[in-house]
Amino acid sequence: MTGVLRVGNASGFYGDRSTAWREMLDGGELDVLTGDYLAELTMLILGRDRLRDPALGYAKTFLRQLEGCLGTALDRGVRIVTNAGGLNPAGLAAAIGALADRLGLAVRVAHVEGDALARPDALTANAYLGAFGIAACLDAGADVVVTGRVTDASLAVGPAIARFGWGRDDLDALAGATVAGHLIECGAQVTGGNFSFFTELPDGGHRPGFPIAEIHPDGSSVLTKHPGTGGAVTVETVTAQLLYEVGGPDYLGPDVVTRLDTVRLHPDGPDRVRVDGVRGTPPPATLKVGVNNLGGFRNAMTFVLCGLDVPAKAALVRGQIEAAVGTDGLEFTLARTDHVDAVDTETASALLHVHLRDGDRVRAGRAFSAAAVELALASYPGCTLTTLPGDATPYGVFTADAVPQADVPHVAVLPDGTRLPIPPPETVAPVTAGPTPGTAAAPTAAGPTRRGPLGELVGARSGDKGGDANLGVWARTDATWEWLRGWLTVDRLAGLLPETATSTVERYELPNLRAVNFVIRGLLGPGVAASTRFDPQAKALGELLRSRIVDLPAALAAGPPAAVEADR
């Protein structure tokens, strides 16, 4: 089939803007509207929901959003594809049917299942399925398709397969659609949300609209948004999202390995960016499996240390807490937020965060928080805390492994109840792990320098993948790229961000994007739910890097790139 498929996205996570579904349906023409609700932490939340009630396990907010929008979508012929099914796609599909009956609407609902794996020792274990099950549901006439754990990009790739009739061997087209799906999966993050240069956006980043991918039969696409919505779609906003939560140039997926180093971005008019040139290779023989387990219980208390002798005050608290509850599972982090000769209490104070993780709920609960409060009149001068004592809360631990694609029963449950098995790809390729690219510094031109924040010249986007973090950095101009690729080495990163120095760091170059991407192994420990870092998901790591004062080449000017250099 020819033509352009307009796929919008109205949700980037469980808790995203509640009005986005209505905004997207009313804002302009769409063929498909997707909603991404799942993340590693979300699967843990849904797993805990199911422990309380086996009928749950899906994103309840989606059902509330759909109530006011389902009739509009049906009237306008907009098909809905969402992974809000989480751990219970059949349950959500049934709930949508019941909702439609109550509203007096005739709706054809299908769902995809098979991702849930039997792991008796795990709270949740789900394989990341591909897009062909979604396509089968749409081919069977579904108005709404609900999935469990599929790759985020599959929500857009599935409709493209159904529209254009791609097969397993159409690797470049599948790869192109994968890039489009990756770009819109996080909602407004590609239209100016969380953008390093938000002050340059037309509305200052106040209310970015949600994105649309216009996917073409060859897999190329144009990224855009509805007219009149906030934010912007530019080569740089697209670059930022393209670098989000990725690793090396090989972007592994269940249907195709997408070569990120082949992606090219071109301006295509106001709020329009063309994405083309994407190449794909056969997928691996295995599927990624995300596993969540309950790791124990956690609690935290924060002491305010004001004025002089801050290190000594922190040492005193540490000794007192350890004497009261023991040392196992305790972590102390001193945040030197205090200023010398400050004129008010807040700016004169440092914060001592004390975390405790333990398998014993009692020890991690009131036994710990009460011990902290009991120091109020028996510790350092000016002792105060930021919170009242509280009970411990359970935390999860995320790990990932792999299973053969052939061992996972990928099934499309069609609107009439027919169960259609989705066979795995016949052609697969091994994942090759070579030496880390780009670790050696390229020659950097000598010349006068000036002191300034790195962020004057580069943008950054960072995020989490289990216990690892990724940090993508892009140059705004060709001249800055020639400097950046030789200057920002792994060793330089360790100097600028000392917390990364003890981690294994992989560095990859993406010249088409004028970007380097760092994968920092183990920075987040056992994953977001268990992390005690101030920034547990590494979302601010890129902005920390941009704030560091370094020697910048004097010849490189700060500010937005010239239009001629925006075409990548």
Cβ distance 405 to 424 under 8 Å?
A: yes
pLDDT of residue 70: 98
pLDDT of residue 442: 55
pLDDT of residue 445: 59
Is the predicted pLDDT of residue 274 greater than 50, yes or no? yes
Is the predicted pLDDT of residue 250 greater than 80, yes or no? yes
394: phi then psi, degrees, rounded to nearest 5: -70, 150
Q: How many whole angstroms separate alpha carbon 156 and alpha carbon 176?
A: 11
Is the predicted pLDDT of residue 438 greater than 80, yes or no? no
Q: What are 518's two structure tokens?
A: 């760092």
Digit-coded pLDDT (tens) for 501-549: 999 999 999 999 999 999 999 999 888 888 888 999 999 999 999 999 9
Is the predicted pLDDT of residue 81 greater than 80, yes or no? yes
pLDDT of residue 358: 96
Lowest-confidence range among 56-60, 323-327, 347-351, 559-563? 559-563
pLDDT of residue 443: 55
Q: How many whole angstroms separate alpha carbon 476 and alpha carbon 139?
A: 43
Digit-coded pLDDT (tens) for 301-320: 999 999 999 999 999 999 99
pLDDT of residue 530: 82
Q: What are 6's two structure tokens?
A: 């307009």
pLDDT of residue 557: 84
Is the predicted pLDDT of residue 565 greater than 90, yes or no? no
pLDDT of residue 559: 77
Buried b / exposed e over 329-341, threshold 16 CB at 10 Å, is bbebebeeebeee
Which of the four pLDDT bands, split at 50, 70 and 90, describes residue 561?
Answer: confident
State the chain's mean pLDDT as an integer: 95
Digit-coded pLDDT (tens) for 121-171: 999 999 999 999 999 999 999 999 999 999 999 999 999 999 999 999 999
pLDDT of residue 435: 47
DSSP state of 222: E
Taking alpha carbons only, the member of 114, 40, 158, 86 closest to residue 407 is: 114
Domain ranges, ordered by start, for the chain: 5-285+405-421, 295-397, 450-552
Segment 264-269 shows an average pLDDT of 97
Segment 462-490 shows an average pLDDT of 96
Q: Classify domain 295-397 at the CATH topology level.
A: Alpha-Beta Plaits (3.30.70)
Q: What percent of the chain has pLDDT over 90?
A: 92
Which of the four pLDDT bands, split at 50, 70 and 90, describes residue 441?
Answer: low
Taking alpha carbons only, the member of 239, 248, 257, 184 closest to residue 470 is: 248
